[in-house]
Amino acid sequence: MTETPTDEYEHYEAVVVGAGPGGAAAAAALANHGVETLVLERGVDAGSKNVSGGLIYAEESAPYTIDDLFPDFREEATERPADEYYIHNVAGRNVKTFDLNDIHHHDTEWCDSVLRRKMDSWLAEQVHGMTRETGGGLLTNVRVNGLLREGGEIVGVTCDELDPITADVIVAADGVNSELARDAGLMDWEEPEEWFQGVKAVVDMDPDAINERFGIDDDEGVAHLFAGDLFDGVRGGGLLYTNEDSLSIGTVFHLDSIAEEKAEPHELLDSLLTHPLLDQWLQGEYEEREYAAKLVPDSKKAAHPSPHRGRLLLVGDAAGQMQAQGPIIKGMNHAVTAGGLAAEAYQEAKARGNPTNAGDLYEQKLETEGVMKKLRPARYRYSRPVSESGLVTGLTNGLLNSPVGTAGLKLFGGLVERAFNSPFMLGMIPDTRFSYVTMPTRIGEVLGTPVTAENDIEPPELDERIGDLTYDVDDPHIEVLDNSFEASGTAVTACPVSAKDFGGGCYREETVQTNGGEQKVVSLDTQPCVECGTCAVVADTHWEHPPGGKGVEYKQG
């Protein structure tokens, strides 16, 4: 095989792949250091591919916050502050609400709700301006499809749309399902346990209605979380955040639980949307602006302890740096911190005359700045083998259902609320059905009061949700390697835009006649795909992102 000499390619000092919060932070910090930086983003616009529930935190303990790097951020790119924070423990109609303000405000300088299209595209504009001055810039509609290597060493990136580009440092901030992390052999997409799946609806609502229904002013906002038995035993919870003139209502579940329960993600979302508790806010009106979904790494299991290889540094979701602190989801802030640290590490390594040392320095910084401690708490590592074994949860389960347990709950209701508000306790919560379902349900049952309201809104059907999305369809970007139902059938239910007995989704279950016998198989049409990444993990596929500018385009995010 002959290799094109890499010195014939265009060269930048730094290439940043992805213009989410991680990439934007890395690029801004690099540009601040005067490093010539090129940013490549596959969306038609930054943010057009991105989804989050929507609360971005600025932590007091963090070395970099988004407004450190982009001083006008809150003014220009966010929706409302999240001043109040509640969790609702649901058992049927019974609901017990805890105030989680303590944990929410713990170590929090500020926290705002965001919509990603608006946020990321604003960031991208700033980044473009900053990186232009270093001789680089930001390009959208470009998908990086792999690493460029020379003699086995990573020296740059290859793209669908451009000739290969070499760089002294490559920051992979390409989010969850990072093709670069996979190419480098740093991440795989095998274990459903390592991921959550998030699904979200952005719901149109007049600002005055929001103020009135939530009892807030224009410059105020609230966050509500939901747990308990409204999700058919699937481990996870719901969220509702106020935006300027919309609500973000979503659900986040453990992917292994979605897979096991053969749960339909859009139905889980609908269970939340139609719960009587939500009537106080929706009041019979429901207009969905956008339906969206994405995988979320669980840093406790997925955060890579050494997220670099040669010139390549992984940042944010690409490195699994997404912290689910109990019900609190912190991904964007850690991506920002990691982006800042990666830039800092490169700058220092370069100053010491050894830029190739950037990766090691970055790893050190993640430790010394306390980031890794938040992402992979030692407490969790110690407690997991015990508390996640069936025996222990079975025991605790039994306890909770016994009269003694119930009495205890009643007596110690206040204590439970306090325990929820302890970052130490939350870091220890095991990922079992017990913590997500049984305990909140019991709390709701025992401590809760029934909701009397009726919620008769009708969320759109899946085909309508798909029909409302904007697509620029291209050739299939996912290939099913084994289409037997055993290997890939889980995707029929787990894919957020597919469902059993629904012909209009990506994955469909079919029966084919094979010499004599019958076989259950799946077929795939990638046109409705929202690129969430689920089937990369739960099905036997060859999974890639579509080329630059192709595929789904989120307008809200």
Partner 1 sequence: MPDIDPTEHDIAELGPKIKDVDDEQELEEMLAMEKGGEGRAPVITLIEDRLEKVGGEDEEVDPSEADLTEMTIADIANMIRDVDDIEVLRDILEREKAGKDRKGAKSQIEKKINNLEEDDGEETEVEYVPPEEKYPDLDHPTNDKQYVEGTVDGEYRDMWVYCETQRGELIDVSREMLGKARELMDTYNDDYDESEDVIAVLIGDGVGDLTEECLAYGADRVVYHEDSRLERFRHKPYTEIFCHMCRDWEVEWRDYHEPRYTVFPATNNGRDLSALVQGELDSGLASDCSGLYIEDADISNPAKTGTPGETKTFGKILHMKRPDFSGFEYSTILCIDKPHRDFHPQGASVIPGSFEIPEAEPEREGEVVEHDTDLPEEWFQVEVTEYDALDEGVDLTGHEVIVALGRGIGDDPTQGIELGLDLVDQFEDADLGLSRGVITASYQFDGHVEQYITEERQIGESGQVVEPDVYIAAGISGAVQHKVGMDESDTIIAVNENPDADIRDFSDYYIEGDLFQVLPRLTDALEEGEFARALQQEVSDD
Do residues 36 and 14 touch, judged by C-beta distance below 8 A?
Answer: yes
Q: Using CB distances below 5 to 8 A depending on partner kind, what does residue 510 bind out of ligand SF4, ligand FAD, partner 1, none?
A: partner 1
Nearest-angstrom CA–CA distance, 176 and 160: 19
Distance in Å, CB of 512 to partner 1, minimum: 5
Region binding partner 1 by CB under 8 A among candidate stretches 83-91, 342-350, 490-498, 512-520: 512-520
Distance in Å, CB of 503 to partner 1, minimum: 5
Residues 198-227 interacting with ligand FAD (rule: CB under 6 A)? 198, 200
Nearest-angstrom CA–CA distance, 341 and 362: 6
Binding status of residue 351 toward partner 1 by CB under 8 A = no
Q: Is 41 helix (H, G, I), strand (E, B) or coil?
A: coil
Find the binder of ligand FAD among 12, 13, 23, 439 (CB under 6 A): 23
Find the binder of ligand FAD among 141, 158, 383, 527 (CB under 6 A): 527
Q: Using CB distances below 5 to 8 A depending on partner kind, what does residue 200 bind out of partner 1, ligand SF4, ligand FAD, none?
A: ligand FAD
Residues 152-181 interacting with ligand FAD (rule: CB under 6 A)? 173-176, 179
Find the binder of ligand FAD among 332, 416, 492, 537 (CB under 6 A): 332
Do residues 500 and 509 touch, judged by C-beta distance below 8 A?
Answer: yes
Tokens matching residue 165: 């580009």
Nearest-angstrom CA–CA distance, 311 and 453: 58
Region label for 277, one of left (φ > 0), alpha (ψ between -120 and 50) or beta (otherwise): alpha
Q: Using CB distances below 5 to 8 A depending on partner kind, what does residue 530 bind out of partner 1, ligand SF4, ligand FAD, none?
A: ligand SF4
Binding status of residue 506 toward ligand SF4 by CB under 6 A = yes
CA dist list (Å): 10 to 150, 157, 167:
15, 11, 9
Binding status of residue 535 toward ligand SF4 by CB under 6 A = yes
Find the binder of ligand SF4 among 263, 532, 544, 546 (CB under 6 A): 532
Binding status of residue 477 toward partner 1 by CB under 8 A = no
Binding status of residue 375 toward ligand SF4 by CB under 6 A = no
What is the DSSP secondary-structure string of 430-452?
A: -SSHIIIIIHHHHHHHHH-EE--
Bridge partners of 224, per DSSP, are 86, 240
Binding status of residue 514 toward partner 1 by CB under 8 A = yes
Nearest-angstrom CA–CA distance, 56 and 127: 19
Region binding ligand FAD by CB under 6 A among candidate stretches 82-90, 268-276, 329-337, 343-351: 329-337
Find the binder of partner 1 among 51, 375, 522, 535 (CB under 8 A): 522
Q: Is 330 helix (H, G, I), strand (E, B) or coil?
A: strand
Binding status of residue 255 toward ligand SF4 by CB under 6 A = no
Residues 452-491 interacting with ligand SF4 (rule: CB under 6 A)? 478, 491
CA dist list (Å): 232 to 176, 283, 329, 441, 494:
27, 25, 22, 11, 14
Find the binder of partner 1 among 239, 524, 535, 537 (CB under 8 A): 524
Find the binder of ligand SF4 among 130, 277, 497, 499 (CB under 6 A): 497
Tokens matching residue 551: 């595929």
Q: Give the nearer residue to ligand FAD in terms of CB position, either 318 or 409.
A: 318
Distance in Å, CB of 458 to partner 1, minimum: 15
Find the binder of partner 1 among 10, 287, 479, 510 (CB under 8 A): 510
Residues 494-523 interacting with ligand FAD (rule: CB under 6 A)? 503-504
Region binding ligand FAD by CB under 6 A among candidate stretches 46-54, 187-195, 230-238, 368-376: 46-54
Cβ–Cβ contacts within 10 Å for residue 404, how many?
Answer: 10
Binding status of residue 495 toward partner 1 by CB under 8 A = no
User: What type of residue sits at position 51?
Assistant: V
Q: Give the nearer residue to ligand SF4 in terms of CB position, either 176 or 225.
A: 176
Residues 432-491 interacting with ligand FAD (rule: CB under 6 A)? 466, 471, 473
Binding status of residue 549 toward ligand FAD by CB under 6 A = no
Nearest-angstrom CA–CA distance, 273 and 289: 14
Write the CB contacts of 132 (distance below 8 Å, at least 6 apart in sequence): none
Binding status of residue 259 toward ligand SF4 by CB under 6 A = no
Cβ–Cβ contacts within 10 Å for residue 128, how many?
Answer: 19
Find the binder of ligand FAD among 9, 12, 14, 18 (CB under 6 A): 18
Find the binder of partner 1 among 508, 530, 536, 547 (CB under 8 A): 508
Q: Is 129 helix (H, G, I), strand (E, B) or coil?
A: helix
Nearest-angstrom CA–CA distance, 308 and 359: 5
Q: Is 35 helix (H, G, I), strand (E, B) or coil?
A: coil
Do residues 187 and 304 touch, judged by C-beta distance below 8 A?
Answer: yes
Nearest-angstrom CA–CA distance, 362 and 449: 50
17 DSSP assignment: E
Binding status of residue 488 toward partner 1 by CB under 8 A = no
94 DSSP assignment: E
Binding status of residue 101 toward partner 1 by CB under 8 A = no
Please report, as ranges, the residues that interact with partner 1 according to CB under 8 A: 463, 467, 473, 483, 503-504, 508, 510-514, 521-525, 527
